[in-house]
Amino acid sequence: MPLWSFIAVDADRRARARILRHMALKRVDFVLLHPGSCRVEYVVQIAPDSLRQEEAERQRVIESVLNAASIKLMTLQSKKSYSLPDLTARLELTAEQ
């Protein structure tokens, strides 16, 4: 999912354009919304086996934007399987949520 599609940028026109250019082509794997408010609660990234230099920089931009927006980031290993109770615990959710 494109990063710009769920991040609101409140800035003047020039600053907004600069920020959006910086976010362009940055994508995340999963976005989890709060069921009541539809607010983005978590972003889930599947970690690659190894990061090249440009991928590491892209990941730093994503982390910076999510941090500024107060959105939690969870990174999962691609070669591992996760049970529903494990994911629930990692996301700090209760069984009802």
Give the pLDDT means over successive 10-residue stretches in the chain (97 positions): 92 92 91 92 88 85 93 89 88 68
Residues pairing with 46 in the sheet: 76
The answer to whether residue 75 is domain-embedded is yes
What's the rounded Cα separation, in Å, for the pair 87 and 76? 10
Number of domains in the chain: 1
| Residue 95 placed within a domain | no
Q: Which domain holds residue 62?
A: 27-90
Radius of gyration, CA atoms only, the chain: 15
Looking only at the bridges linking them, the beta strands covering 30-33 and 40-47 are: antiparallel
> Residues 40, 5: contact at Cβ < 8 Å?
no
Query: Is 37 within the bounds of a domain?
Result: yes
pTM for the predicted model, two decimal places: 0.80
Q: Is residue 84 part of a domain?
A: yes
